[in-house]
Amino acid sequence: MAGSPRDCPCFSGQRYVACCAPFHRGEREAETPVLLMRSRYAAFALGLGEYLVRTLSRDHADLDLPRVALIRELSQARERQRFMDLRILHEETGEREGQVMFFARIFERGVDGSFVEVSQFLREGPGWRYASGVLVPKVDLPAPLEALTPADIFGLRTRE
């Protein structure tokens, strides 16, 4: 990939070539939900819409949209947003299902669009796929990041 970053945009502290690049190039499948989630964050930061579509679960509603338009839209996120940090807050991995709660620090046109999301993942074939997520903007969080649980996030969404 031309112009690849030196440090991985998933904020793992590793070099991109050894971290998310093998996933993005299709050389490896994510062995855990956290690895898939990190690689998807990096793909948003790099504008890799094809990868983002490829890593959706087979039943994800976005797959009903026209594929070319979906890839274009996902690829363009990097033009509007700056991906400043990623922190894993909670993870659970079962045999077929996984859950990751993370904090994404993102700015769009200078405005803080940071959020916490609880993402659901499914194992499909040899790797994991993104199934769904519940997102809460940073301004709506009920507690400091370190004190949050997935139940807090789901509780906020059921009250809306």
- Which residues, 6 or more positions from 106, have their beta carbon under 8 angstroms from its beta carbon? 81, 82, 83, 84, 112, 113, 114, 115
* All domains of the chain in start order, with CATH: 16-158 (3.10.450.50)
Pairing of strands 81-93, 97-108: antiparallel
pLDDT score at 154: 82
CA distances from 142 to 24, 133, 147, 149, 159 (A): 35, 18, 9, 10, 13
pLDDT score at 155: 78
| Residues 141 and 148: beta-carbon distance below 8 Å | yes
CA terminus-to-terminus distance, the chain: 42
pLDDT score at 157: 61
pLDDT score at 5: 75
Provide block-wise average pLDDT over 10 residues at a time, the chain (160 residues).
Answer: 76 96 96 97 97 96 94 93 95 96 94 96 95 93 87 68
pTM of the predicted structure, to 2 decimals: 0.91
pLDDT score at 159: 42
| Residues 106 and 99: beta-carbon distance below 8 Å | no
